[in-house]
Amino acid sequence: MIIVTGGAGFIGSNIVRALNEAGEDDILIVDRLGQTEKWKNLLDLKFVDYEHKDDFLVRLERGLYDHGIWAVFHLGACSSTTEKNADYLMENNFQFSQKLASRFAGKRGVRFIYASSAATYGDGAQGYSDDHEAVARLLPLNMYGYSKQLFDWWALRTGILKTAVGIKYFNVYGPYEYHKADMRSVVIRSFFQIKKTGKVKLFKSYRPEYKDGEQVRDFIYVKDAVKITLHFLERPEVNGIFNAGTGTPRSFNDLAAGVFSALDLPVNIEYIDMPEGLEKKYQYHTCAETTKLKFAGFRDKLFTLESGIRDYVLNYLEKADAEA
């Protein structure tokens, strides 16, 4: 059996969907559905069981999953960069990850792959290298990033990463992120802004070296993020921390233009002030170093920003049961 924590979430449900397409349906999905529309991500998935995260943890600690598991994708986490409850993030993102890794990572016949985050890189002053030597130098800008950084560091110090893989996802966008509210990508938010008002609102720049809308991110389509993740399922001899990005930074202006183009509309952008308190925590540049990923054997061609947006808009957002 395969366990996918966060299997009803954005990246997690896309992982399950890809596993289904590969003929795998002996899957246990672990998640918290709450009162969101996340449950809709499960509708087209094939799996043998679903467990609430708290119930799963009880069964895990009783040893009920000590046998019969051959892969664990640990995608479950609170991914809100604005979450203020540090105790919750420590319990949910760090300590829960410790319990899972201690049970499964390094166990013979079990592949353990977990989600880290590019949020660990902070403002990028220390670079975006996924070399293990760089981990201790990183200074995340928010508690979410710190919770991920803390687990990366723990996994390194305990030797867990000798037999497991941590994936630092950069700015992922794509289908089945519909439930994420304020944490949805700028692509989907731009789509609905255009549908409602005919224009896209982007943050002004507060640094002279960046014009308005020219702040850049390493945007990666979720289909490519999934391919990178599954690459390591097929190569158990390759372990450690790896970036999941394109290695090509693109501006928010480029992103907005891509959405307008997919809708066959002229570009119309309004630049707005950042919310109070965000300016000092705002990333102006992210870009994954991908050399290590290529050395690990991943050479697949990735979607460009424009082609990824076009696929997302035309084949999902125009058809999806997604709300603004």
**Cα gap 299→224, rounded to integer Å:** 11
The continuous run of DSSP H or E covering 201 comes out as strand 200-203
* 294 belongs to a structural domain: no
Residue 30 assigned to a binding site: no
The residue type found at 22 is A
Give the residue numbers spanning the domain of 188: 173-217+249-288+303-317
Contact 98, 55 (CB under 8 A): no
Residue 252's contacts (CB-CB under 8 Å, 6 or more residues apart) are: 186, 202, 203, 213, 214, 215, 216, 217
**Count of CB atoms situated within 10 Å of the CB of 220:** 27
Q: Is 210 a catalytic residue?
A: no
Q: pLDDT tens digits, residue range 202-256?
A: 999 999 999 999 999 999 999 999 999 999 999 999 999 999 999 999 999 999 9
Question: Looking at the structure, do residues 81 and 97 belong to the same domain, yes or no?
Answer: yes
CATH no. for residue 124? Answer: 3.40.50.720
Question: Looking at the structure, do residues 189 and 234 belong to the same domain, yes or no?
Answer: no
The pLDDT score that the predictor gives to residue 279 is 75
Question: Looking at the structure, do residues 69 and 119 belong to the same domain, yes or no?
Answer: yes
Q: Is 180 a catalytic residue?
A: yes
Catalytic residue chosen out of the listed positions 50, 121, 144, 221: 144
* 179 belongs to a structural domain: yes
CATH no. for residue 180? Answer: 3.90.25.10
Question: Looking at the structure, do residues 94 and 188 belong to the same domain, yes or no?
Answer: no
Residue 172 assigned to a binding site: yes
* pLDDT, averaged across the chain: 94
Q: What is the pTM of this model?
A: 0.95
Residue 118 assigned to a binding site: no
Question: Looking at the structure, do residues 60 and 189 belong to the same domain, yes or no?
Answer: no
Q: pLDDT tens digits, residue range 130-188?
A: 999 999 999 998 989 999 999 999 999 999 999 999 999 999 999 999 998 888 999 99
Residue 114 assigned to a binding site: no
Catalytic residue chosen out of the listed positions 107, 180, 199, 201: 180
The pLDDT score that the predictor gives to residue 146 is 93
Question: Looking at the structure, do residues 126 and 257 belong to the same domain, yes or no?
Answer: no
Q: How many domains is the chain built from?
A: 2
Residue 118's contacts (CB-CB under 8 Å, 6 or more residues apart) are: 128, 168, 169, 170, 171, 218, 243, 245, 286, 288
- 14-37 burial string, b = 16+ CB within 10 Å, else e? bbbbbbeeeebeebbbbbebeeee
The pLDDT score that the predictor gives to residue 230 is 98
Question: Looking at the structure, do residues 271 and 159 belong to the same domain, yes or no?
Answer: no
Q: pLDDT tens digits, residue range 286-321?
A: 999 999 999 999 999 999 999 999 999 999 999 875
Instruction: Give the pLDDT band of residue 84 (cuts 50, 70, 90).
Output: confident
Compute the residue count for the chain. 324
Residue 148 assigned to a binding site: yes
Question: Looking at the structure, do residues 181 and 193 belong to the same domain, yes or no?
Answer: yes
Is the pLDDT confidence value at 324 over 60? no
Is the pLDDT confidence value at 92 over 90? no
Residue 32 assigned to a binding site: yes
Residue 19 corresponds to which tokens in the numbers above?
A: 């596993």
Residue 217 assigned to a binding site: yes
Residue 210 assigned to a binding site: no
Question: Looking at the structure, do residues 92 and 228 belong to the same domain, yes or no?
Answer: yes
**Cα gap 220→118, rounded to integer Å:** 12
